[in-house]
Structure 1
Amino acid sequence: MKNSNTEYKGNIKISVFVEILIYFLIGTVVIGFVSWVILATASTQTVLNQKNMQAENIFDDLDGYFAQYRSMDYVFEYWIKNMDSMEVEYDTNEISAAKNHEFNLRNPGFIFNSASTDDIEALSEEDRKFYAEVIYNRCVMRLNMIRKAFDIEYIYCLAADEKFENAIYLLSGSDGSRPRSSKFGDFYTLGTTIKLDEKQKNTLMDTLSNSYHMAESVGFVDRYETLTDINGYHIFLGLTYSTFAVQHEIADQTRHGALFTVLFMLIFAAISLSLIRNYVLVPLKEVQSNVENYMINKDSEEVVKRLTKIKQRDEIGMLAHSFSNMALTIDSYIDEVQKVTADKERIDTELNVATRIQENMLPCDFPPFPDRKEFDIYAKMDPAKEVGGDFYDFFFVDDDHLAIVIADVSGKGVPAALFMVIAKTLLKIRTQSNRGTPADILYDVNNTLCSGNKVEMFVTVWLAVINLKTGEGIAANAGHEHPILRHKDGQFEPVMYKHSHPLGMLENAKFREHEFTLMPGDSVFVYTDGVTEAENTEHELFGMDRCVTALNKCTSNDPETLIKTVRKDIDEFVGEADQFDDITMLSYFYKGDK
């Protein structure tokens, strides 16, 4: 190692005290000048510019939010045509959630975001009304959230007719502190209609041609932006800020503020310099002398003996005391570092062994049953850490029935891996006993897991038993993700139904199950939430839609090819973002009893 000691040559030209004095004087001048400039140039327009930038961000957020609904223009038209008959919530979503649930029961597999106009028109009149009301509640709750978060007086969405004679308020954000009505000053309800005066008409027309418009009035500033055009109406977003007259106050305070700042800095500098010289520089020079002696002699005992004579009970005294301790404890620190390094290497070795153990617990030889021609199956688990809580399994209950399991334990790492071993073992032993249906199996395993589960961990499970001769099967879902099914020559689509509780949460819980029939050429894809909740660097989720799209890109029936296709799309979507959760997938292709 090269010697890092350096030697100062020549006489000291300037003391630290003088340097600090110069810095204080320069700082005082600079701070005074900057204070003057800042106070002199501040104005209400600066505030309005900041509000304008904030409004652009808010409108970008709302544009993106509305854009996620493929048929938003249709929804706007529906609101306008049926505003007198719509039953909507403004500040809660309990009723809308119930409508959403009832809608999903009647229309399984219907996806709100991606629904086209034809999809909506194909619904019954009641379901179209439910659809429009649920979307309305989601949008108004979004405006409520923005209204509260950014302290905006009003935020709204309105529809102006083509001649700009009247405007209909569609959405209005509220914080719940004032009533909702059609009265001026309240938060408007759906369908509130106003007659536009000439100023309002010109403002909206200017917004239509210039993409956005900002207008000032007494105590307020209004910001508008064009959202879209529909049949007979222009849709606008608008918000209102409260402002104050600050120009004269800023001008008066500029001089006083700048002078006060300079005066304060001068007084502060004089007092600080006196204290620094007496209580810092003098004793610090003494410490410096002792440190230089240590650098020359490398005698830690002599350094300790001399530095202990400094009795100050401040940072300088602590510096002397700390340097003494440092000289005495360097050897012990080196020993400690070596010990920690050895412990870390041991832990890494144990985790590597645990990883291999967990990998060996899951079926990893494919094809697993080369003598069985009724099906193909492939699965893969990629833990987020060295070990994970996801697992999958497939095994024969008897010669004609195959059990398939995929599960996700709460949490990650070693605790989840231990719970995973218990859950996997219980599920396999209980299923191979060939007693009862999947719901009965989950019932027994759930009670076993609940017993003594003081750490309150749980596991979501999808369990299915399939008759390989007939393709008939029974599945039970304990809080797990929905399976995705493709019929022969068809497209992959999620199979939506109501879940039961995860295992380990509630003793004696009952579990729903449903029957299904696979025809030769059908495929089933099951997975854990690490697939749909994979995040990119923008914190966007991969989601169900992208998963289905990835599945349908693959035209092969080979389960391994299918899973690799999905994983490739996940990796491309996530990019450089770290893997947050375990990613597990299983694909089953039914050939039939040949």
Structure 2
Amino acid sequence: MTEHKSYNDRLKISVFTEILIYFIFGTLIIGAVSYVTITNSSARTILDQKEKHASSIFKDLNAYLDQFEGIAYILEYWIENGDNMDVEYEADDETRRKMHELLARKKNLSVMDSTEADIKALSPEDQKLFAEIVFNRVLMHTNHIKTAYDIDYVYVMATDDKFNSGIFLASGNDGSRPRSSKFGDAYTLGTTVTLTDEQVTSLKETLKKTRKVAESEGYADSYETYIDIPGYHVFLGIAYQTSDVKEEIRVETIRSTLRFVVLQMIFAAICLFLIRKNVLKPLKKVQKSVESYDKNKDSNYVVNKLSEISLGNEIGHLADSFSKMVLTVDQYIDEVQKITAEKERISVELGVATKIQKDMLPREFPPFPDRNEFDIFATMNPAKEVGGDFYDFFLVDDDHLALVMADVSGKGVPAALFMVIAKTLIKTRTLAGGTPSEILYDVNNQLCEGNDEEFFVTVWLSIIEISTGKGVAANAGHEHPILRRKNCEFEPVIYKHSSPLGMIEGIKYIEHEFKLDAGDALFEYTDGVTEAENKRHELFGMDNTVKALNKCKEDDPQKQISTVREEINNFVGDADQFDDITMMAFYYKG
């Protein structure tokens, strides 16, 4: 036996110190968890801001492009003739001159309102001027957007239908980058780049109205579909450095985490002060009183000391409770002894009740050694000391055998008492003569009388003519029987049930006729078989019951029941038996 160590033998450490250590570790853990949580939160917040930022930019640029009535044709013109266009990027002086030149020849021409037909009606020279003028205006607006929104890149890009490459049409610049076709510069008109797989995926998702950011060489690109023209998709796009976003997230995370940790430490300090004052000091008094009782067993002294603690919280209740416990400990010991004696008495009586119940059921097998026309075997295993299941079989006369399988609602002693009544009534009424439906009708009416506890019993009753194998069965809400024809396999016999006995007075019960031939076998059972449950709360079920029966290839009813019981045990494993398990197997020899 392991020796119990007293308080004085163990390492002494105050509760306050323990709480302080817990608070320190708790603060560190909370800080670490908060850092991770706040990182995710900051990332979501900043990315949401970037998304709103992108939406605003796309809305602005989209609205500006839509002002040009013939923009679809103009975009197509830029793609096809970009290399031949004479455009200016960061200024519009030359473009103004071109506008004056064009209007001198086409006085009523409007850059904004000209349709595709209007533009096509111009001479090739004027179409080129028109495309250059619109390009400059669009480019100046993208330059303005980049400056206003402080974005790394904002652009209009076209891709072919197969997304082999991207053609940059208008790329904004605030003067901080050179204008060229090199990566990292503000792209010139017609700059063509090969798209990465991630960019292609993002562009395809954009066509489906789903925005997905694509990362490429330190930049994150976001797109929005603008228009489709023959052979091309035109997108609006923005890009920002991923390192800048990560830095924003890191700074915001550190700032928020520090604020949280400081507040946590202030809260912890206040809590420690209050705990020491209002909890630990009164608990120390309780501890000393308990130690005194442990040494001296002087309950009056302990009660007097604990009465000095006049707190109205749990500690005060603890002191009062311990005082009451000390005063009533002897009384509790006496009550425990009485309860133990009573449990032993009940256990003995339940043992007797178990034996009486077993003695009421047929237990001698073979039950009719002088009859060679059939063989029968049955078992009943209650979930508790006594149960509500029962089976019965008896000769009504020399040529008729009655088979009964029943299950009383509930378990334990009440179900067992109701079982005794039901079994007695069924057997007495069956021996008086009549069909199964007539028998169940009368028994049901008798059970309904004075049934204030509203017990009920499901019953399968069959009367078989031994000489011919003809039988009549009535099923009062019980399980379906399982039948095996000669040289075949067991199968459930499904037909309509009637209501259980003891529920509603005056019910008519349906009969079911059947015929057994030599070599046929019948198996009847209670729901404790099909509803046997394992630790995963899976039920044994009808299918497993039938499989278990078919696993036994012999005509011996006892071996059939043993096989089913073994399969149930293997299925259930260490799980507790929830319901009574009762089975009856009948073999007709003819």
The match for 1:322 is 321
The equivalent residue for 1:382 is 381
- Show CA shifts across 1:7-42 (max 9, x none): 748998x76545544543443233223211233257
Inter-CA distance 413–8: structure 2 relative to 1 (3 Å threshold) = closer
Q: Is the 8 A contact 1:409 1:416 kept in 2?
A: yes
1:354-393 superposed matches below 5 A: 354-393=353-392
The match for 1:562 among 560, 563, 566 is 560
Change (3 A) 1:515 1:312: closer
Contact 2:404 2:459 in 1 (8 A): yes
- Tell me by how many angstroms 1:4 deviates: 5.5
Runs of 4+ in 1 over 6 A off after TM superposition: 9-12, 42-45, 247-253
The runs of 5 or more residues in structure 1 that have no matched partner are 46-202, 204-215, 221-246
Contact residue 17 and residue 277 of structure 1 kept, 8 A: yes
Amino acid of the structure 2 residue aligned with 1:27: G
Aligned-residue CA RMSD (Å): 3.3
Residues 42 and 252 of structure 2 are in contact (CA less than 8 Å); yes or no, is this contact kept in structure 1? Answer: no
- 536, 539, 542: which one pairs with 1:541? 539
- Superposed displacement of residue 252, structure 1: 9.0
Alignment of 1:218 with 2:210, yes or no, is yes
State which structure, 1 or 2, has the greater radius of gyration over its C-alpha atoms. Answer: 2
2:397 match: 398
CA distance in structure 2 between the aligned counterparts of 1:472 and 1:10, rounded to whole angstroms: 82
Distance 1:444 1:274, change over 3 A: same
Find the partner of 1:528 among 526, 529, 542: 526
Residue 267 of structure 1 deviates from its aligned partner by 2.5
CA offset digits 1:473-497 (Å, max 9, x no partner): 1111111111111222222222221
Once the two structures are superposed, residues 523-579 of structure 1 have per-residue CA deviations (whole angstroms, 9 ceiling, x without a partner) of 111111111222222222222222222212222111111111111111112222222
The aligned residue for residue 350 of structure 1 is 349
Aligned mates of 2:453, 2:10 — CA distance in 1: 69
Q: Work out which of the residue numbers 551, 561, 577 in structure 1 matches 2:549.
A: 551
Q: Distance in 1 between matches of 2:476 and 2:42?
A: 60
> How far does the alpha carbon of each residue in 1:217-260 deviate from its partner, in whole angstroms, 9 at most, with x for none?
8399xxxxxxxxxxxxxxxxxxxxxxxxxx99998974565344
**How has the CA–CA distance of structure 1 residues 23 and 505 changed in structure 2, closer, same or farther, with 3 Å as cutoff?**
closer
Cα distance, 1:293–1:573 mapped onto 2, change above 3 Å:
closer
Partner of 2:463: 465
Distance 1:485 1:19 in 2: 70
In structure 2, the CA distance between the partners of 1:254 and 1:217, relative to structure 1 (3 Å rule), is farther
Aligned residue in 1 for 2:340: 341
Q: Does 1:590 align with 2:582?
A: no
Structure-1 separation of matches of 2:21 and 2:565: 63
What is the CA deviation profile of residues 256-277 of structure 1, one whole-angstrom value per residue up to 9, with x for unaligned ones?
A: 6534432332222232222223
- Superposed displacement of residue 513, structure 1: 0.7
Partner Cα distance (2:406, 2:211) in 1: 59
Specify the code of the residue in structure 2 equivalent to 1:514: H
Give the TM-score normalised by the residue count of structure 2. 0.61
What does the per-residue CA deviation read over 1:64-85, in whole Å, with 9 as the maximum and x for residues that have no partner? xxxxxxxxxxxxxxxxxxxxxx
Report the secondary structure of 2:265's partner residue: helix
Aligned-partner Cα distance in 1 for 2:10–2:468 = 98
The answer to whether the Cα contact below 8 Å between 2:43 and 2:249 also exists between their aligned partners in 1 is no
| Contact persistence 2:472–2:514 (CA under 8 A) | yes
- 3-state SS of paired residue (2:397): coil
Alignment partners' CA distance in 2, 1:359 and 1:407: 15
Counterpart residue number, 1:309: 308
Residue equivalent to 1:239: none
CA distance in 2, matches of 1:10, 1:569: 53
Q: Which residue of 1 aligns with 2:448?
A: 450
**1:10-21 maps to which residues of 2 (within 5 A)?**
16-17=15-16, 20-21=19-20
**8 Å Cα contact 2:42/2:253 also seen in 1:** no
Deviation for aligned residue 1:588:
1.1
What aligned pairs does 1:143-542 form with structure 2 within 5 A after superposition? 218=210, 254-255=253-254, 257-434=256-433, 436-542=434-540
The CA distance in 2 between the partners of 1:321 and 1:329, in whole Å, is 12
What one-letter code is carried by the residue in structure 2 that aligns with 1:461? V
> 1:315: how far off?
2.9
Amino acid across the alignment from 2:446: T
Partner Cα distance (1:259, 1:32) in 2: 8
**Within 5 Å, which residues of 2 pair with 1:22-37?**
22-37=21-36
Query: What residue identity is the alignment partner of 1:388?
Result: G
- CA spacing shift, 1:586–1:257, aligned 2, 3 Å: farther
5+ residue gaps, structure 2: 45-200, 202-207, 213-244
Report sequence identity in percent. Answer: 63
Q: CA distance change for structure 1 residues 295 and 4 in 2, over 3 Å: closer, same or farther?
A: farther
1:118-139 Cα deviation digits (max 9, x unpaired): xxxxxxxxxxxxxxxxxxxxxx
What amino acid is aligned across from residue 279 of structure 1 in structure 2? N
- 297 and 42 in structure 1: CA distance in 2 versus 1, 3 angstrom threshold: same
CA distance in structure 2 between the aligned counterparts of 1:36 and 1:44, rounded to whole angstroms? 12
Residue 571 to residue 17, structure 1, CA distance change in 2 (3 Å) = closer
- Relative to 1, partners in 2 of residues 1:459 and 1:23: Cα closer, same or farther, differing over 3 Å? closer
Instruction: Give the distance between the partners of 1:9 and 1:414, measured in 2 at CA.
Output: 52
Distance 1:281 1:590, change over 3 A: closer
In structure 1, distance between residues paired with 2:295 and 2:489: 80
Q: Counterparts of 2:262 and 2:332 in 1: how far apart (Å)? A: 50
Give 1:401 shift: 0.9
What's 1:244 paired with?
Answer: none
Count of aligned pairs between the two proteins: 397
Report SS of the residue matched to 1:397. Answer: strand
Whole-angstrom distance in 1 between the partners of 2:582 and 2:298: 61
Paired residues of 1:462 and 1:475 also in contact (CA < 8 A):
yes
- Whether contact under 8 Å (1:290, 1:306) holds in the other structure is yes
Bigger RCO (CA 8 Å, 6+ sep): 1
- Residues 519 and 590 in structure 1, CA contact (< 8 A), matched pair in contact too: yes
CA distance in 1 between counterparts of 2:477 and 2:16 reads: 70
Comparing 407-416 with 361-370, which one deviates more in the overlay? 407-416
Write the distance in 1 (CA, Å) between the matches of 2:419 and 2:298: 58
* 1:350-409 deviation digits (Å, cap 9, x = unpaired): 111111111011001111111112211111111111111111111111111111111111
Counterpart Cα distance in 2 of 1:9 and 1:422: 65
Structure 2 residue matching 1:586: 3-state secondary structure: strand
SS of the counterpart of 2:574? coil
In the alignment, the residues of structure 1 paired with residue 425 and residue 10 of structure 2 have an alpha-carbon distance, to the nearest angstrom, of: 81
**What is the rounded CA distance, in whole Å, between the counterparts of 1:495 and 1:286 in structure 2?**
74
- Cα gap change, 1:298 to 1:519, in 2 (>3 Å): closer
Once the two structures are TM-superposed, the CA of residue 464 in structure 1 deviates from its matched residue by: 0.9
CA spacing shift, 1:444–1:41, aligned 2, 3 Å: same
Q: Which residue of structure 2 lines up, in the alignment, with residue 142 of structure 1?
A: none
Instruction: Return the letter of the residue paired with 1:511.
Output: Y
Q: Distance in 2 between matches of 1:271 and 1:454?
A: 62
Normalised to the residue count of structure 1, the TM-score between the two structures is: 0.61
Change in 2 beyond 3 A, CA 1:38/1:516? same
AA partner of residue 569 (structure 1) = E
Distance 1:2 1:293, change over 3 A: farther
Cα gap change, 1:2/1:580 in structure 2, threshold over 3 Å: closer, same or farther? closer
How many Å separate the matches in 2 of 1:5 and 1:571?
A: 45
Amino acid at match of 1:403: A
